Amino acid sequence: MPAAGRGRRLLPLTQNFPKELLPVKGHPMIYYALREAALCGVEEIIVIVNPKKRTLIEYLEEEWREELGEEGIRPPRLRLLEQPLPRGSGDALWRAREFLREGPFLWMMPDFVLLGGPPPALQILRALNPLEAKSAVGVIRIEPGQGRLFGNVGIVRGEWKGKRVLSIRGLSGKRAEPLEPNRPLLKAIGRWLLLPSIFPLLVKHRQLGPEWDDTPALQALCEKEEVVGVLLEGRGFDVGNILGYQAANSAY
């Protein structure tokens, strides 16, 4: 889980407070991803943090375990890795590579929250054939008029293989303008099941400049091999976006 960024899309709320601890329906934003990982049977959670985010680090050292315990959920081990400068999600993923060489792993963005459905990562795992080693991602449907509630990246194209499963063949990159769809779109969200083969793609498609984003590598992955998309049950929110954050907290 990357958690070292500045949270610029949520300014001024994040001016002096970690984005990951902003409340969503009574819990810190990152709690939903931590809880989800625990419910999926994850043995170890790796959170990439900025060492200056002391409030977040203190929460991750103890409080989240207490919250899970109140729900009767056993917390997995948690490892903190430092990302001293906010150099992007690609850099965060690269820093965790030595712990992820053995097999599939979940790449989870704490600023995606799903309400009213089973945990998204659990939905993804249940939809896959356990005998096939494939990458996968959660997908939600965005209706006309909802585009500004979400980030402007990750629109997928592919072929349906079942009622809620599709084979993804393309993934849109970041764009300057906001999403304003005039028809329903399918969008990949921050829940990926990845294999260690992502790391060569991450290096190959690293961008020039101070920020190393993971999107070009994920785009290349979708073009290189079959990536399974799972249409999620429930209502998804981009709570790293000020409008999406407000929508999540006002949802019933």
Residue range 215-233, pLDDT digits in tens: 999 999 999 998 999 999 9
pLDDT the model gives residue 132:
78
Per-residue confidence (pLDDT) for residue 151, from 0 to 100: 87
DSSP, collapsed to helix, strand or coil, labels residue 56 as helix
Q: Is the pLDDT of residue 238 over 90?
A: yes
| CB atoms near residue 17 (< 10 Å) | 15
Q: How many domains is the chain partitioned into structurally?
A: 1
Bridge partners (DSSP) of residue 27 are 24
* Cβ atoms 40, 127 nearer than 8 A: no
CATH classification at residue 219: 3.90.550.10
- What are the Cα distances from residue 99, in Å, to 41, 91, 172, 229, 246? 17, 15, 29, 25, 35
Average pLDDT value for the chain: 93
Q: Which two tokens stand for residue 20?
A: 């990951």
pLDDT in tens, 90-140: 999 999 999 987 789 999 999 999 999 999 999 999 999 776 778 999 999
Rounded distance, CA 72 to CA 74, Å? 7
pLDDT at 131: 60
Residue 222's domain comprises 2-250
Q: What pLDDT, in 10s, does the model give residues 182-220?
A: 789 999 999 999 999 999 999 999 988 888 999 999 999
What percent of the chain lies above the pLDDT cut of 70? 99
The first and second tokens of residue 191, run together, are 């829940």
pLDDT band at 152 (very low <50, low <70, confident <90, very high): confident
Q: How many CB atoms lie within 10 A of CB 224?
A: 11
Q: Cα–Cα distances in Å, from 27 out to 33, 53, 103, 158, 207?
A: 11, 18, 31, 35, 35
How many Cβ atoms are within 10 Å of 139's Cβ, its own excluded? 26
Cβ atoms of residues 180 and 243 within 8 Å: no
The pLDDT assigned to 179 comes to 76
Tokens for 124, please give them.
């993804």
Asked if omega into 12 is within 30° of 0 (cis), the reply is yes
Radius of gyration of the chain (CA): 17
Closest residue by Cα to residue 53 from 16, 13, 28: 16
- The pLDDT tens digits for 22-62 are 999 999 999 999 999 999 999 999 999 999 999 999 999 99
